[in-house]
Amino acid sequence: MYRASDRREHEEWLENLEATADRLDLEGTARSRAVDLFLSSMPVEEERSKRAVMAVSLYVGALVSGQERSQRVVADAADVSRLTIQQRWKGLLEDAGLDAPDW
């Protein structure tokens, strides 16, 4: 869970998330889910980790919204390694109480 003030505090990162979602051509449901995941999973200290959380939030947001994008495509759009997404997406999904797809 996050506070309303988190949106103001992380406004720059949310703008970056929206710009990345534009590059991925994601619709509103995936964007909204990604914002919620991002703000709920925001690392406190490291700026570098914020980019990783943003990318993973976009990947998971798209996945659970039925707007799947490959890890490579999301990683390229967010300027992180594919390995970053591969290593973190299941943990974020589980922490949010969401079910993994059954493909």
Per residue in 17-73, pLDDT tens? Answer: 999 999 999 999 999 999 999 999 876 666 668 999 999 999 999 999 999 999 999
What is the residue-wise DSSP string for 88-102? HHHHHHHHTTPPPP-
Q: What is the CATH number of the domain that holds 37?
A: 1.10.472.10
The closest of 5, 38, 6 to 21, measured between CA atoms, is 38
The percent of residues above 70 in pLDDT, for the chain, comes to 90
Overall pTM > 0.95 = no
Q: Does residue 49 lie in a domain region? A: yes
37-50, pLDDT tens digit by residue? 999 987 666 666 89
Q: Does residue 24 lie in a domain region? A: yes
Domain count, the chain: 1
Look up tokens 């039925």; give the residue: 66
CB atoms within 10 A of CB 32: 14
Domain that holds residue 72: 4-95
Determine the pLDDT at residue 73.
98
Amino acid at position 25, single letter:
D
Q: Does residue 100 lie in a domain region? A: no
For residue 17, the Cα-to-chain-centroid distance in whole angstroms is 8
